[in-house]
Structure 1
């Protein structure tokens, strides 16, 4: 296998890995109540995920155009990373909403307690 046969796969691994990291950091920020930072990290996670998808789409287009893409364990591994980054982003979005709801309810309970 030529080194260039691995290059796109490594780029997908890197960008998807960064995306997943931003998603996990966003969850941590939301848990601390820093929802602004969580949203910024979700934006970064989404940027990385889009870049990884673009790289994947380029390979799919290459294959569809008749230029075979060499399938190897690194390519398979990159697809695992891309899938996990996608799942991490989706779950982070949901968890942040849950943390925000919990935070809002805590605030509401405190306001009610003050009135009692």
Structure 2
């Protein structure tokens, strides 16, 4: 097994892990009401996820072109990380939206209370 085969897998693991971390940080910021920061972190998560997908796509293109891509436990692990990063980003988008709705409703309730 070539070192390069492992290197690409480790890059996917690291990049997808970064993406997942940014997604989770975005959720935490949204929970605190810092939606600007949450959206910035979500953008960063998306950029890292795209980088990881590009690495994966390069491997797929090599195999489609006839080059053997060795399947090993590290590659499988990298695909798991990529999948989880993708799910984390999708959930972060939804949770940020929910926290924003909750914050807006709280503000609206407070405005109504002031009028009573």
TM-score range normalised by the length of the shorter chain: over 0.9
Deviations 1:39-78 (A, max 9, x none): 0000000000000000000000000000010100000000
How far is 1:2 from its partner? 2.1
Deviations 1:12-62 (A, max 9, x none): 000000000000000000000000000000000000000000000000000
How far apart, in 2, do the equivalents of 1:48 and 1:21 lie? Answer: 10
Q: Who is 1:105 aligned against? A: 105
How far apart, in 2, do the equivalents of 1:4 and 1:101 lie? Answer: 46
Between Structure 1 and Structure 2, how many residues are aligned? 116
Q: Who is 1:30 aligned against? A: 30
Q: Who is 2:21 aligned against? A: 21
RMSD of aligned alpha carbons: 0.4
SS state at 1:33 partner:
coil
**Equivalences for residues 84-103 of structure 1 within 5 A:** 84-103=84-103
SS state at 1:69 partner:
coil
- Gap runs ≥5 in structure 2: none
> What is the TM-score with the length of structure 2 in the denominator?
0.99
> What is the TM-score with the length of structure 1 in the denominator?
0.99
Runs of 4+ that moved beyond 2 A? none
SS state at 1:70 partner:
coil
How far apart, in 1, do the equivalents of 2:74 and 2:8 lie? Answer: 10
Q: Who is 1:68 aligned against? A: 68
SS state at 2:99 partner:
helix
Q: Who is 1:8 aligned against? A: 8
